[in-house]
A and B are shown apart, each in its own frame.
Chain A
Amino acid sequence: MTLAFAPTLVRRRTLARVGASLIGWAMTLPFVAGMVLFLVLPCIAVLGMAFTDWSLGAREFGFVGFQNFEVLFGDRTFRQSLGNTLIFAAIVTPVSVAIGLWLAVLVEASVRGRAFFRSALFLPVVSTTVAMAIVWEFLLHPTLGPVNTLFAALGLPRQGFLADADTVLVTLAMIGIWENAGYVMVLTLAGLKSIPSDLYDAGAIDGVDEGWSRFWAITFPMLGPTMVFVVIVSLLRSLRTFDTVAALTQGGPRGSSEVLLWTIYEEGFMFFRVGYAAALTVVFVVLLLVITFVKFRVLDRAVHYG
């Protein structure tokens, strides 16, 4: 190769690189534009708004520093909302994970009807939450509801369920468990499939070949990473609960079913206290992000170990 060729070669290469970049940019542009418009800018905006006293319809607004956050943590509604959300998650997550795990093991072990069981138990996950919430509302109706009719027939006291401040949160949690258990089951079934069957054969030689002993000796430890993942996914889902509250109780009676997303919705989109709602949003998202980071670390490790 003579020296005379070198510049053209270099130029051709740069051209090729620019060309490749142009194609890359053209292909990613619509997505990137969408992300900037609907993710990056709104995230910056929400962070900014959290430090203002902006209220929709107000003529002017100013920066107020951390005032929104100070008000927030002193606010009774917020504290009740945070407390209710945590209680709700603390009921739904462990109970639905335990039931879902149990169901997965039972379904996996059954010889026939596996597809039927799986689908029947998964149906609540697919169906429209709001519509099913209305069905639950009817089923749990204080006077007309079949559940109370059954309670009366059995000689048990009638329950107010959603209408009663003492039982509303637990009732919503029951509906949450009903929705989430099938989801946990399906995710766990995938984890069960990945346990090598030689482990069970080896266990049989060592005398663990039946029911619970086999479950605790082999299945449960091998499911470890799956279970952590499932717990976190369930936790995130239950912290984001909104549909049943919006459809059935709107936070009531007397704030006893107020949850974080509903409070954000009320402050932001009913009262239009933009600055305050933005501060609420920041707190809520930080809570979710902490949990999501844990999830990604677990996923990472599960991938390395697997």
Chain B
Amino acid sequence: MMGHTVRLAVLAVFVALSLGPFIYMLAFSVKSASEIFSGSLGLLPQSTEGLLNYPRALAAEPLLRYLLNGAIVCAGILIFQLLFAIPCAYAVAKLRFAGRSVVFGLVLFGLLIPIQATALPIYLGLAGVGLLDTYTSLIVPFVASAFGVFLFRQFIKTIPDELLDSARLDGCNEFSVVLRVVAPLTLPTATAFGIFSVVSHWNDLFWPLIVLRSPELNTPPLGILAFRSAEAGDRYGELMAGTVIITAPLVVAFLVAQRRFVEGLSLGALKG
């Protein structure tokens, strides 16, 4: 029994450390400037004046626009990734064709190389064709996901050939086999992969920082950085309100579908 209590106490300490920054972010997002400067440690605000931090944050910087940009970029990336990866994974898993092992070799190679390795030439290439500082430049380097093909191939290999053959006997050609039979079956894999993809690209700072110049295209991480430098230091209540707004979509999505998020992001470990 003693062990049980100690375990709970240790867990409680770690949970407090883990959630602490989130709790303080929320608490300070509704505190007035004078209260923050007084250096109090209390979590509850002493007046309701701090609630104005939210409308002020939204007025100071187009935060909702940044969230929309994040959604557009993530959706764009994910749609192309699925569109490219599922047929390719099906072909590699179930069809025999010349060059199949070359394609699979490309997949394995792609798993090894991080975006940071190829960033410089891709940047120069996009600059060469005049596409820097566009939604396209944020989306296009990620449309061919080796990791996606790898995951879908693993799954599609487990689909029994009899199922595919019966679809073919019903008059399906290979393309409609993918569309009608394979794609619906991949839904759980697609969900896990989708969560991994959206979370990584929503949170990514490196690539948007490189290709973007126009503030109106800012993704959420760049947006919150822009907000901080515009606030120039002392309006912490508004800054915390801004970070709440920027972090809210993913945190809420996570709270709604915790198990799926854990699944999707653990899969990501395979990639590194």
Contacts and interface: CB of A to CB of B under 8 A. Distances in A.
Interface of A: 20-25, 27-28, 30-35, 37-43, 45-46, 49, 56, 99, 102-103, 106-107, 109-111, 115, 117-132, 134-136, 138-139, 144, 146, 149-150, 153, 178, 181-183, 186-187, 190, 210-211, 229-230, 233, 236-237, 240, 242-243, 246-247, 261, 264-265, 268-269, 274, 277-278, 281, 284-285, 288-289, 292, 295, 299
A23 B97 contact: yes
A190 B259 CA distance: 12
Interface of B: 3-4, 7-8, 10-11, 14-15, 17-22, 24-25, 28, 36-37, 39-41, 83-85, 87-88, 90-92, 95-100, 103, 106, 109-110, 112-114, 116-125, 140-144, 146, 149, 174-175, 178, 199, 202-203, 205-206, 209-210, 220-221, 224-225, 228, 236, 239-240, 243, 246-247, 250-251, 254-255, 258, 261-262, 265-266, 269-270, 272
B123 A269 contact: yes
Contact of B11 (A34, A43, A107, A131): A107
Contact of A149 (B14, B41, B210): B41
Given A23-B91, A120-B19, A38 B262 contact: no
Given A24-B100, A135-B21, A126 B10 contact: no
B99 A39 contact: no
B39 A24 contact: no
B21 A130 contact: no
Q: A-side binding surface: helix, strand, loop or mixed?
A: helix
Given A146-B41, A269-B210, A34 B118 contact: no
B117 A30 contact: no
Contact of A131 (B106, B125, B178, B243): B243
B105 to A, nearest CB: 10
A117 B11 contact: yes
Contact of A135 (B92, B220, B240): B240
A60 to B, nearest CB: 16
Nearest to A120: B15
B8 A43 contact: no
Contacts, number: 272
A124 B20 CA distance: 10
Given A27-B88, A115-B258, A289-B112, A42 B95 contact: no
Contact of A35 (B11, B25, B146, B220): B146
B115 to A, nearest CB: 9
Contacts of A136: 21
A110 B91 contact: no
A152 B95 CA distance: 68
A24 B5 CA distance: 60
B21 A281 contact: no
A120 B41 contact: no
Given A24-B97, A39-B109, A119-B255, A138 B236 contact: yes
A299 to B, nearest CB: 8
A288 B114 CA distance: 9
B205 A129 contact: yes
5 contacts: A25-B97, A49-B120, A123-B251, A126-B254, A243-B205
The 9 closest A-B pairs by CB, nearest first: A34-B144, A24-B97, A42-B118, A45-B121, A42-B121, A130-B221, A31-B88, A27-B91, A27-B87
Contacts of B203: 127-130, 243
B25 to A, nearest CB: 5
A278 B120 contact: yes
Given A127-B250, A128-B224, A281-B120, A110 B21 contact: no
Given A110-B7, A115-B258, A187 B266 contact: yes
A134 B120 contact: no
A242 B205 contact: yes
B114 A240 contact: yes
B262 A186 contact: yes
Nearest to A146: B41
Most buried by B among A23, A187, A277, A278: A23
Nearest to A141: B236
B12 to A, nearest CB: 9
Contacts of A289: 112
A144 B37 contact: yes
A115 B254 CA distance: 13
A178 B18 contact: yes
B19 A106 contact: no
Contact of A39 (B25, B144, B269): B144
A215 to B, nearest CB: 12
A30 B118 CA distance: 19
B239 A134 contact: yes
A233 B272 contact: yes
Contact of B116 (A111, A125, A284): A284
Contacts of A123: 18-19, 22, 251, 254
Given A23-B174, A27-B178, A261-B116, 20 more contacts: A20-B97, A22-B97, A23-B175, A24-B95, A25-B97, A27-B87, A28-B87, A39-B109, A42-B120, A43-B118, A121-B15, A123-B251, A126-B254, A128-B202, A128-B247, A129-B205, A144-B36, A186-B262, A236-B272, A268-B120
